[in-house]
Amino acid sequence: MSSSKESGQLPWLKKMAMDGNSEMTGKDIKKVFDAEGYCVVPGLLSPQQIGLARQLSQSLINRHRAGEEAMTRKAVSVASVTSQHPDRNPGVEAGHWEAEPFIIGDLIAHDERFSEIIASLPIWKCACLLLECDLPDVIFHLSNLTLKPAGVGPAIGWHRDAGNTYFSTVDGRTIRFLLPLHAMSERNGGTALIPGSHRSSREYSSSGETFPSVPPGSGLVLHSQVLHGGYPNRSVENRDVVVLQFGVRSSELIHKGNEHFSLCDYEDMKSFRTSQREIGFSFGRE
């Protein structure tokens, strides 16, 4: 990987602070990611993009609640996950929450304006940095909206993304971005993980787990082998997260989900976003 990707202040990180007072460099991000298996990266989405993502996500939620068949056919409801795994949502009556979505996948299939979020250049450049490749070699895999509604959001079982049977590669060279639409923390069922677990085969133990706090606009970026999960959301705040997975063009696929724009590169996604802007839609930044 070239030194320009490893060191110096990356363009999207200028004047961005992780803790409010210290700048992060690409080298900082890579060092944390390699050591811990995750990193909270600031400046991935602009305030305008966050506003748009909230608007589009609420529209999908409302369409699911209304019973629109295109929305409910492949989505996972709170009722479904509660029925299958009652231990993950204790005290919640599954039958009352059939209309409430838990996971909605293939976001562009439901609203093409999600391309404005997925085509955010800082996300792709961060993927370059952490996958150790050039921008044309980064490819998009999947997107979804994962929701933990206030008071009834279910837990997510402990797992490693490399082992998923939806979209994965032989070499495990993938990363996921968790982009919260509102502040995400332990309080509202935020993602828990075991730092450093990407470098071992250890099973889950509550010893050493951590709950990164992630503000809107930032992203929690996960190594494919880091062990992570989450607890129920019993707070009064929703925990709504856009999830994106990226990989490398040269990786051999084990599983390939049937998603709109899967395996496209940045130029493909940007071109589609541009076409949306030309028909009257304009948000975000390069």
Question: pLDDT of 187-229, one tens digit each?
Answer: 999 999 999 999 988 776 667 899 999 999 999 999 999 999 9
Least confident of 46-50, 58-62, 272-276: 272-276
Distance (Å, whole) CA 100 – CA 92: 13
Q: Is the dihedral of CA 35, 216, 48, 61 positive or negative?
A: positive
Please list, in sequence order, all residues whose beta carbon lies within 8 angstroms of the beta carbon of residue 65, skipping any fewer than 6 positions away. Answer: 99, 100, 101
Least confident of 5-14, 162-171, 190-199, 244-253: 5-14
Please list, in sequence order, all residues whose beta carbon lies within 8 angstroms of the beta carbon of residue 210, skipping any fewer than 6 positions away. Answer: 192, 193, 194, 195
118, two tokens: 């997925």
pLDDT range class, residue 278, cuts 50, 70, 90: confident
> Please, what CATH class does the domain formed by 27-64+101-278 belong to?
mainly beta
Least confident of 103-107, 153-157, 204-208: 204-208
pLDDT range class, residue 280, cuts 50, 70, 90: low
